[in-house]
Amino acid sequence: MLKVAVIGLGTMGPGMVARMARGGFEVRAFDTSDAAIDRARVMLPQIGAVLDQLSITPLASGEGAISFHRDLAEAVAGVDLVIENVPERIEVKEEVLRAISPLVAGDCVIASDTSGIPITKLQAFVVNPRRFVGMHWSNPPHIIPMIEVIPGAATAAEVVSFISETIKGLGLIPVLVKKDVPGFVENRVLYALLRECVDLVDQGVIDADALDTCVSWGIGYKLSVIGPMALLDMAGLDIYQSVSGYLNADLCNAATVSDAITSRTAAGRLGMKTGGGIYDYTPERIKELGAERARKLVATRRVLEGRDTP
C-alpha cells in the first residue's frame, strides 16, 4: 500500500486526501493550522459521498487509512510520496520544502501541487531534486480527474513514470507537461481566458453574470466534449485563420492584474472564502452552490465517461 503525506489542508487538501484514501493509499494529512485540520475532518464524509456518486468505490482491500498530524516529522516518516500543498507563495513553499526534505527517505518522491511556479525553481529547495516533480491537481480535486505531471530540469525519468503510474492507479488521468513553463498548460490556458473575461467586464462589454452564462453554455460546454485542437478542425482552420487575423491583435494582453481584482483583494474580498469577491455569498448560499456544483460536475463526468448514457 502506498504511503502518502499531504502537506496543507486548505481548499485542495481534503479532496486530495479523500481521493487517494479511496484508492487504497495510506494518507497522512498535515497542516500547521488546527482549524484547517478540523475543517478537513468535517469535510471527509461529504467528499466521500461525492466519490460514491461518481462510483469511485474503495478497492477490495478497502479504503486507505487517513491520519491527521501536527508534527511534520511524524507525518512524513516512512512515506513513499509527499505532496506539498501549501499557499502559492514561493517563500512559503521554500520553507516547507526545506523542512520536509531532510525528514524523508532517500527514495521518497516529493511532489508539488503548485498552480504554476516552475518545478525547476522549487527543486532548488530539496536535498534530492531528482526525486522532485510537479503534480498539479485541479479544483475540486476529488472530482476533476486530470492531473498535470511536470518534470523539472533535474527530475529523474523514473520519478515521472512513478507519479504517472500512481495517478493512473487511482483511475485518474495524468497529462505530461513536456516543458517546465510558468503555469504549465492548464493554467496558462485558464489564465488567458480569465484575463480576457475580466477585461470584457472591466470594459463594460458584458456584465459578470452574463459573461458566466456566455462562457459556461458556449465554449465551456463545448470544450468539455471537444478539446481545443479538435475544435480547430471542427470549425475549420480557415475560419480560425481569418478570425485570428483581425482578433488576435485586439485581445487583452495586459501584463498586470486588473484593478477590479486588486482592489477587491486589497479590501479582503477574496471570493467564497471571505463571503464575497466578484459576487456576494451567504454561508447558506455557499453550501447550496457547493452541493449544486458537485451534483452537476458528477452528472457531467458520468455522461462524459459513458456511464450514464441519457
Ligand X SMILES: Cc1ncc(CO)c(C(=O)O)c1O
Residue 187 binds which entry of ligand X, ligand NAD, none, with Cβ cut-offs from 5 to 8 Å by kind?
ligand X
Please identify, using beta-carbon distances, which residue of 191 and 240 lies nearer to ligand NAD.
191
CA distances from 272 to 173, 265, 277, 280, 283 (A): 28, 12, 7, 8, 9
Q: Is 273 annotated as a binding residue?
A: yes
Please identify, using beta-carbon distances, which residue of 1 and 181 lies nearer to ligand NAD.
181
Contact call for residues 38 and 10 (beta carbons, < 8 A): no
In this structure, the number of other CB atoms found within 10 A of the CB of residue 21 comes to 23
Please identify, using beta-carbon distances, which residue of 115 and 123 lies nearer to ligand X.
115
Residue 33 binds which entry of ligand NAD, ligand X, none, with Cβ cut-offs from 5 to 8 Å by kind?
ligand NAD
Q: Is 11 annotated as a binding residue?
A: yes
Residue 282 binds which entry of ligand X, ligand NAD, none, with Cβ cut-offs from 5 to 8 Å by kind?
none
Cell of 294: 458537485
Residue 92 binds which entry of ligand NAD, ligand X, none, with Cβ cut-offs from 5 to 8 Å by kind?
ligand NAD
**Distance between CA atoms of 144 and 50, rounded to whole angstroms?**
12
Can you say whether the dihedral through the CA atoms of 159, 6, 70, 26 is positive or negative?
A: negative
Please measure the distance between the N-terminal and C-terminal CA atoms of the chain and give it in whole angstroms: 37
Peptide bond into 151 cis (omega under 30): no
Residues 72-131 that bind ligand NAD (CB under 6 A): 85-88, 92, 96, 113-115
In this structure, the number of other CB atoms found within 10 A of the CB of residue 92 comes to 13
Query: Shortest gap between Cβ of 151 and ligand X (angstroms)?
Result: 18
Residue type, 128: N
Please identify, using beta-carbon distances, which residue of 104 and 147 lies nearer to ligand X.
147
Please identify, using beta-carbon distances, which residue of 24 and 122 lies nearer to ligand NAD.
122
Binding positions for NAD(+): 8-13, 31, 88, 93, 115, 139, 273
Note the residues at the interface with ligand NAD (CB under 6 A): 7-13, 30-33, 36, 85-88, 92, 96, 113-115, 137-139
